[in-house]
Amino acid sequence: MLQSKLDRLIREEIEALLAPLADAASLHDLAEESLANALQDSVILHADCRAWFLLPLIVYNILCGECELALPAIAGLELLKVAAEVLDDIEDADSAKSLPSKYGVPLALNTASTLIILAEKAFTLLKDNGVSDAVVVSLINTVNSYYTTTCMGQHLDLSLTPDAIASEDTYLRVIAMKSASVVECACYTGALLAGANQELINSFAIFGHNLGMASQIANDIKAVINLKDIKNRKITLPAIFALARTEGKTHRLMDEMFCKRSLGFDFAPDQIRDLLFSTGAMQYAAIKREIYNQEAKDILMRMKTEGIKVEQLQQFLN
């Protein structure tokens, strides 16, 4: 019930931020459409759905017992996240359902820019809720730092050669910067707004980091299972394991598939997937994911022993 209430409050906050766009109705529609895809998973529609969207607000609520004061910041974080997703869709150009695919790059780019600007506006609205200038500035600084890291991670992902990215250390570094930093930011800002001391803020940030790492690895596992990353010949953890730990014919196949990326190389995606299972590559990725999952659980347990009611965060862990 709490999360349904939080979801409704966030939607109302975002709708208020988008209201000025009504003069350019189609821009308003594009902004809403990009947010709708993100917002649709914000409520627990069924037992399997996690309220990712509400993560910073949940952290805030754990520490403060209420949520209204933090709403502008949470709305701002969501706008930033969605803007990043739109930009990622432009950069990857691999999704037919994305905003750039449906409406073209220029309109998608302008929509992302608009969301970023509205996010900055959202953070300043915290003042109207009585949040001090110092906290508002600290929050904006924090968010900008984290999203700069995200951009650096995305830059690495886009620019590294297959040989360079086919290293587990590099892969982990890239996803830490690109993906985990967003989740870490969400948890950090929730705790910052709640007035937690730096030690507690750091604990929530570490939880967010590990949660983000686990989630990205899970995403990469899923993208191999549904053949998407295989068809795109994208190197993620399962492929990295296979490249490092197979020999002979299997290794040559993986090398041709992911590193050399020969244009004339004919492959059956489901056979590559089967190989990734039979060599243990997928299971290795699942174990690595579990390591980060366990680290996140351990942090929650430590906070629980200190009297922090972290039960709401356990839904994000497997």
- Interface with other proteins by CB under 8 A: which residues? 41, 48-50, 52, 55, 81, 84-85, 88, 92, 94-95, 154, 167-169, 172, 175, 178-179, 182-183, 186, 211-212, 214-216, 218-219, 221-223, 225-226, 228, 234, 241, 244-245, 273, 277-280, 282-284, 286-288, 290-291, 293-295, 318
Residue with smaller CB distance to other proteins, 109 or 135: 109
* Smallest distance, other proteins to C-beta of residue 294, A: 6
Identify the CA nearest to 111 among candidates 136, 141, 86: 86
* Least CB distance to other proteins at residue 53 (A): 9
Closest CB to other proteins among residues 197, 318: 318
Q: 16 or 259, CB closer to other proteins? A: 259
Closest to other proteins by CB, 138 vs 219, is: 219
For residues 311 and 297, give the distance between their C-alpha atoms in angstroms, rounded to a whole number.
11
Residue 218 Cβ vs other proteins, minimum distance, rounded to whole Å: 4
Q: How far is the CB of 198 from other proteins (least distance, A)?
A: 24
**What is the full DSSP assignment across the chain?**
-HHHHHHHHHHHHHHHHHGGGGGSHHHHHHHHHHHHHHHTTSS--STT---GGGHHHHHHHHHHS--GGGHHHHHHHHHHHHHHHHHHHHHH---TTSHHHHH-HHHHHHHHHHHHHHHHHHHHGGGGGT--HHHHHHHHHHHHHHHHHHHHHHHHHHHS-HHHHSSHHHHHHHHIIIIIHHHHHHHHHHHHHTT--HHHHHHHHHHHHHHHHHHHHHHHHHHHHTSHHHHTT---HHHHHHHHH--HHHHHHHIIIIII--TT----HHHHHHHHHHTTHHHHHHHHHHHHHHHHHHHHHHHHHTT---GGGGGG--
* CB nearer other proteins, residue 18 or residue 54: 54
Write down the least CB distance from residue 95 to other proteins, Å.
Answer: 7
CB-nearer residue toward other proteins: 131 or 186: 186
Least distance CB 57 / other proteins (angstroms): 14
| Shortest spacing between CB 44 and other proteins, in angstroms | 12
> Are 154 and 178 contacting, i.e. CB atoms less than 8 angstroms apart?
yes
- Whose Cβ is closer to other proteins: residue 24's or residue 291's? 291
